[in-house]
Amino acid sequence: MSLAILASIVILLAALFAASRIGAFLIARRHPPVGAFAEVYGTRIHHVHVPGPVEAELPPVVFIHGASSNLLDEMLPLRPRLEGRAEMLFLDRPGHGWSERGDGNDTPSGQAATLAALMDRLGIGRAIVVGHSFGGAVAAAFALDHPERTAGLVLVSAASHPWPGGATSWYYRLAALPGAGPVFCALAALPAGLVRIAGATRSVFSPNPVPDGYVRRAAIMLVLRPAAFRANAIDVDGLYAHVAAAAPRYPSISAPTVVISGDSDTVVYEEVHSLGLARDILGAALAWVRNLGHKPDWIAPELVAAAILKVAGERVDLDAAVRAAERRVAGDRAEDAGPDRSAEPAQSPPPI
């Protein structure tokens, strides 16, 4: 290799590194923390704790976001639905948003333990736990490992079961590697993510339209910072091994449970995950919505709120809430319908 070619490669890598550092700084400045920090097991966890009224109607409710996001993804659509009725806790999962990664948080079970410790710090005993997508795996792990703390479960488009082949995207596997992973994230995560984020977001919501300003309002760009991207990659890359071990234990979950799923999810295969949860958790109610994609939390937040009320023991017509959501999304046809899953394993790789 000539010195000129070598020099060009070095200059290109240096430019990518500098652009990523500057871009990460600008993203962080544009999306500062919105809550408080608590130290849990030596790790700073960013969270928003919403106190309930003196005579709360409902148990406390804890919300766990999915891959590639942060606490705003659940807080923006769902906090207004329960404000003044229940104590609420929204947290950035370890390594996401503004939370540090810390030790022991590379699995859903580890993150569930961190959540339990955070609840202790905030004086929350038992809570209804709401988990979306990857957050559903954490919520299920919480119910398995801390049953005495679980007043109810609402699992929204959850990733919960092993899928044939166990495939994830190559860039997650690369980013999760101990040596090459940090280098890859420092050089490529941000520029590649900027190219893909609009299309990936359309795919996540498909067939439903992306809400106006979603990426900005929910601070989704935070995942493109190298450390957050790598934490997300480690989560996704290790998910198969976790759910393969956890799924046989789901029949032991005794908390009241509602499983919410669209029938047109382009991120996780609802037939494997949501139907599996409804089958494996005794007494679980299934809210199955036609023409709904991976984001019921944003597209049908009133359905998620109804599910929370149901597991809290209130009289709720969940079927009526499903039908109302179906009427509203019946005509949705997103421009980007997401990948063709006909030849893929039973879960498509979660997009950025």
Token representation of residue 143:
């119910």
Residue 88 bridge partners (DSSP): 50, 61
Beta-strand pair 61-64/43-50 = unpaired
Q: Is residue 57 part of a domain?
A: yes
**Cα 144 from chain centroid?**
19
In a domain, 199, yes or no: yes
- Per-residue pLDDT 10s for the chain (352 aa) are 688 777 777 777 888 888 889 999 999 999 999 999 999 999 999 999 999 998 888 999 999 999 999 999 999 999 999 999 999 999 999 999 999 999 999 999 999 999 999 999 999 999 999 999 999 999 999 999 999 999 999 999 999 999 988 888 999 999 999 999 999 999 999 999 999 999 999 999 999 999 999 999 999 999 999 999 999 999 999 999 999 999 999 999 999 999 999 999 999 999 999 999 999 999 999 999 999 999 999 999 999 999 999 999 999 999 999 999 999 999 998 655 444 332 233 333 333 3
Contacts of 75 (CB under 8 A, 6+ apart): 48, 63, 90
User: β-pairing, 257-262 with 285-289?
Assistant: parallel
Answering whether pTM is above 0.75, one says: yes
Residue 19: the pLDDT is: 86
Q: Decide if 346 is inside a domain.
A: no
Q: How many domains does the chain have?
A: 1
CA 24 to chain centre: 21
* Range(s) of the domain holding residue 88: 30-329
Strand 88-91 with 43-50, pairing: antiparallel
Asked if the structure places residue 238 within a domain, the reply is: yes
Residue 306 included in any domain? yes
Give the pLDDT confidence score for residue 335 in this predicted structure.
Answer: 56
Is position 127 within any domain? yes
2 in any annotated domain = no
Q: Does residue 204 sit within a domain?
A: yes
CATH number, domain containing residue 202: 3.40.50.1820
The pLDDT value given to residue 343: 29
Rounded Cα–Cα distance for residues 65 and 130 (Å):
9
Strand partners, 130: 63, 154
Please list, in sequence order, all residues whose beta carbon lies within 8 angstroms of the beta carbon of residue 25, skipping any fewer than 6 positions away.
Answer: none
Beta bridge partners of 46: 37
